[in-house]
Amino acid sequence: MKSNNNTIFWEDERVDGADKVNGKAKYAAEHNLPNMAYAVFVTSTIAKGSIKNLDTSKALAMPGVLDVIYYANCPSVPGYISNAAERPKNAIEWRGHKVLHDNKVRFFGQPIALVVADSFENANAAIRFVKAEYAPESFETNFDKARLDPANLKATSSYKRGTEKKFKEAFAFVESEFNIPVEVHNAMELFATIAHWEGEDKVTLYDKTQGPKSTQFTVSRTFGIPDKNVRVIAENVGGAFGSGLRSWANVPAACIAAKKLNRPVKLVLTRPQMFSLVGYRPQSWQKVGIGADAAGNFTGISHEAISNTSRYEDFREGIVDVSKFLYACENVDTKYNLLPLDVSTPVWMRGPGEATGCFALESAIDELSYKLKMDPIELRLKNYTTINPENKLPFSDINLKDCYAYGKNKIGWKNRPTVPGALKENGWLIGYGMAVGIFGAGKGSASVRIVLSNDGKLLLECGVSDMGPGTTTSMTILASEAMQMPIQKIKFKLGDSDLPPGPSQGGSGTTSTVGSAVDLACKTLQQKLKEIAIKSVPVFAGMNAEALDVKNEMVISKTDTNAKMAIVDVLKLANQDKIDLTITSNGKTAAQLKFTSNSFSAHFVKLGVNPKDGTIKILQVVTTGDAGKIISPKTARSQMLGGVVGGIGMALSEKLEIDHKTGQIINASFGGYHVPLHSHIPPTDVWFVNKPDPNINDIGAKGIGEIALIGFAAAITNAVYNATGKRVRDLPNATGKRVRDLPITPEKLGFKSKV
Ligand code: MOS
């Protein structure tokens, strides 16, 4: 429990925790509507080609089956019309694969038909009776092979300051290549959409989304209907990590089916479909070169990357961007290309491109530190900058040095062997590693409704979502602190497009953006309360608003403590049931735009490598964040813990496997795609600088979601190198080495596979 001026304002708890644990909180697929039908996708069994014939007769004859919707009987969708001249004016073309629209197959597992039945079981039983006859075409899903031919690449961006490839002239330099396989978000909650048309041009959706407002916009434009006629409800989201930042095939398909059948339709993806239908972290290849002078000053950084996209849509992200501004360096060049393959479209996945990029950059810096015989933290401090070298603006705040100092001490960095492979504990080779993460900290616009009722309850509403980071809790805490009233009297409502417009939850921006709006709403409400008090309460008559305070659920004079009144009594005296305001907080002010804002993290790992078989055991983790003021300590800590778990998965086990002969994903299940187990997660220390950033917004908070993960995988690979290094004496079965291709396996360390 925290207290402020002897008054208890809030407890350190999740305000929505109890409802989530006891099952009261409903997720998209848990809603049920009268007369609802159930839909299941039939998916393609070839990677590319066209469907010559689709036989639905057997499926239609199955019990309870209501319809099989596919290209030949799919009603026309305004947003599916490519020719703008033929499209209704308020419709926008659907981005990506137009599900159920044509007979083309673009990737293995693409939905080719939708079976709708009176129960989920009946729909599911019928899908295997839909028979497709294909005309297959040749395809390419092999990234490693296809990237070697420059003709396959699509140039996306390049950047240069100073001299290109300057690093090669340095006193010491490294140039290395890095590979990261496809990784999949795989949140606990399956994607689901329930569509319910309440009229010809009016639809309500229960949907798993990170942005109720963005889904509303997508649906209204796809179906050419007014925004206000589309309501998207997503009060609870069971994880998404970026996969919910756009709408996928389940959204239009549910809408199409519900309209065609004239009854509500529920469409839930299966777990295997979660591997191919809702995005993933693209596969990437990177090459990083860094050079330094004898003192360790970086003289040149070159960063090249290729990541995959689909054949029908471009997805690009900030893979090489971190190298432009995380460290002081005059000569930087970057190049980024896309490689289209016959697979589905990737999307942002936690930390997105920056996590990919930081893995390479932070590994390369570690490599360089050994060449320079310099401590890797010292090397980073040598190139520390408080001014962003790309846009030349000062960081609104940067306390990464404090993160280094804390982590170094807490992990026991002094025990780190400077010669790799030189430390053993209990028969295990021990290594220490660290790496840095950086991500943009933005502030956008958001609207918040605030309602103070004369029963003393405060309601706030915003059409943002909470996919799990604790937005409901942190916004309630912010309101509690701004209003100086107990958390128990405050309710923050989100997850509904009918609420005042809020941003999509993404890019670590929710706390800064919505939090600023909550803060402004509370301040506006307090001002209003003071004005009402002056007008209606005799004891305040003639006073200035500035002379009054609103706190402890009272309006109170700053100078005469006898002049006070409970806010509920102020409203009653003024004969008002409530104060009901909607305010909008805008993006950064001119003063805030004079700075560039980022959150930072530094991750520290101590691990052991078993010299007999290459097994890796993470022994200790210290993860530190420079994210401004921490609004909600418990949920902020949990976000960092989630980043650690994700980072361990990225470093040690996560990899999507495609059979390039068929184009089929062969490990589309939790049995085949390995996320960390509880027993893989070591004692983890989470620490925040917890200092308000004075220049980003009024609340001083930056973001946490991405920096929790960004850099973490490199901390592990750096520690593995530190443990095994070049020394072979203690590795009877292998030669330890630096692993630049994730995930690290004993085989990549040089151990023979036991299977
Ligand atoms: Mo995050 S990858 O912006 O959901």
Among 183, 186, 209, 241, the mutation site with the greatest number of ligand 1 atoms within 8 A of its Cβ is 241
Atom of ligand 1 nearest to the CA of 349: 2
Task: Output the CA angle 203-207-210, nearest 5 degrees.
Answer: 125
672 with 747, same domain: the answer is yes
CA of 710 to the centre of ligand 1 (A): 12
Strands of 505-645, DSSP E: 548-551, 554-557, 564-566, 578-585, 598-609, 616-626
What is the mean predicted confidence (pLDDT) over 24-31? 97
Rounded to whole angstroms, the Cα distance separating 86 from 284 reads: 39
CA of 29 to the centre of ligand 1 (A): 22
CATH number for the domain that contains residue 238 = 3.90.1170.50
Rounded to whole angstroms, the Cα distance separating 719 from 648 reads: 12
Stronger pLDDT, 418 or 385, i.e. the higher one: 385
CA of 589 to the centre of ligand 1 (A): 24
Atom of ligand 1 nearest to the CA of 506: 3
Atom of ligand 1 nearest to the CA of 508: 3
120 with 259, same domain: the answer is yes
CA of 693 to the centre of ligand 1 (A): 22
Predicted confidence band at 736 (pLDDT cuts at 50, 70, 90)?
A: low
Convert the pLDDT of each residue in 521-561 to its tens digit: 999 999 999 999 999 999 999 999 999 999 999 999 999 88
Q: Is the pLDDT of residue 728 over 80?
A: no
Among 243, 350, 512, the mutation site with the greatest number of ligand 1 atoms within 8 A of its Cβ is 350
Helical residues (DSSP H) of 373-441, grouped into ranges: 376-382, 400-411
What is the mean predicted confidence (pLDDT) over 272-278? 98
68 with 178, same domain: the answer is no
* Residue 540 confidence (pLDDT): 96
What is the separation of C-alpha 71 from the centre of its chain, rounded to a whole number of angstroms?
34
* Residue 11 confidence (pLDDT): 52
Atom of ligand 1 nearest to the CA of 467: 4
**CA gyration radius for the chain?**
28
Return the residue whose CA atom lies nearest to atom 4 of ligand 1: 242
Range(s) of the domain holding residue 70: 31-137+186-275
CA of 504 to the centre of ligand 1 (A): 9
CA of 364 to the centre of ligand 1 (A): 25
CATH number for the domain that contains residue 517 = 3.30.365.10
409 with 520, same domain: the answer is no
256 with 299, same domain: the answer is no
Atom of ligand 1 nearest to the CA of 352: 2
490 with 357, same domain: the answer is no
Give the DSSP letter string of 407-423.
HHHHHTGGGS-SSTT--
Across the chain, mean pLDDT equals 95
Convert the pLDDT of each residue in 190-235 to its tens digit: 999 999 999 999 999 999 999 999 999 999 999 999 999 999 999 9
Residue whose entry in the numeric block shows the structure tokens 């809603």: 31
206 with 65, same domain: the answer is yes
Predicted confidence band at 116 (pLDDT cuts at 50, 70, 90)?
A: very high
What is the mean predicted confidence (pLDDT) over 672-684? 95
657 with 672, same domain: the answer is yes
Rounded to whole angstroms, the Cα distance separating 114 from 249 reads: 11
Predicted confidence band at 733 (pLDDT cuts at 50, 70, 90)?
A: low
* Residue 12 confidence (pLDDT): 59
Q: Is the pLDDT of residue 128 over 60?
A: yes
- Whole-number percent of the chain with pLDDT over 90: 93
Domain boundary among 567, 587, 607: 587
Name the amino acid, one letter, at 390: E
* Residue 634 confidence (pLDDT): 94
CA of 412 to the centre of ligand 1 (A): 33
Segment among 43-57, 328-342, 713-727 with least mean pLDDT: 713-727
What is the mean predicted confidence (pLDDT) over 286-290? 98
Atom of ligand 1 nearest to the CA of 348: 2
* Residue 732 confidence (pLDDT): 54
* Residue 432 confidence (pLDDT): 98
Rounded to whole angstroms, the Cα distance separating 16 from 194 reads: 23
Q: Is the pLDDT of residue 726 over 80?
A: no
Rounded to whole angstroms, the Cα distance separating 281 from 355 reads: 10
Convert the pLDDT of each residue in 46-104 to its tens digit: 999 999 999 999 999 999 999 999 999 999 999 999 999 999 989 999 999 999 999 99
408 with 331, same domain: the answer is no
Atom of ligand 1 nearest to the CA of 240: 4
Q: Is the pLDDT of residue 347 over 60?
A: yes
Residues in contact with ligand 1 by the CB-under-6-Å rule are 210, 241-242, 245, 348-350, 352, 506-507
Q: Is the pLDDT of residue 735 over 80?
A: no
CA of 203 to the centre of ligand 1 (A): 27
Closest alpha carbon to 277 in 668, 673, 671, 672: 668
Predicted confidence band at 727 (pLDDT cuts at 50, 70, 90)?
A: low
Atom of ligand 1 nearest to the CA of 509: 3
* Residue 3 confidence (pLDDT): 45
* Residue 142 confidence (pLDDT): 98
β partners of residue 492? 460
Rounded to whole angstroms, the Cα distance separating 29 from 266 reads: 7
Stronger pLDDT, 752 or 41, i.e. the higher one: 41
Rounded to whole angstroms, the Cα distance separating 224 from 259 reads: 14
Number of domains in the chain: 4
211 with 87, same domain: the answer is yes
* Residue 725 confidence (pLDDT): 82
Predicted confidence band at 8 (pLDDT cuts at 50, 70, 90)?
A: very low
CA of 139 to the centre of ligand 1 (A): 30
CA of 441 to the centre of ligand 1 (A): 13
51 with 104, same domain: the answer is yes
Q: Is the pLDDT of residue 9 over 50?
A: no
* Helix, strand, coil percent content, the chain, rounded in steps of 5: 30, 25, 45
Domain boundary among 275, 295, 319: 275
Domain boundary among 252, 275, 298: 275
Convert the pLDDT of each residue in 553-598 to its tens digit: 999 999 988 999 999 999 999 999 999 999 999 999 999 999 999 9
210 with 312, same domain: the answer is no
Among 186, 348, 464, 639, the mutation site with the greatest number of ligand 1 atoms within 8 A of its Cβ is 348
β 616-626/684-688 pair status: parallel
Tokens of 402: 């404090």
Rounded to whole angstroms, the Cα distance separating 320 from 436 reads: 15
Stronger pLDDT, 419 or 651, i.e. the higher one: 651
Q: Is 538 left (phi over 0), alpha (psi -120 to 50) or beta?
A: alpha
**Element housing 288 (H / E):** strand 284-292
CA of 349 to the centre of ligand 1 (A): 6
Atom of ligand 1 nearest to the CA of 507: 3
Query: What's the predicted TM-score (pTM) here?
Result: 0.96
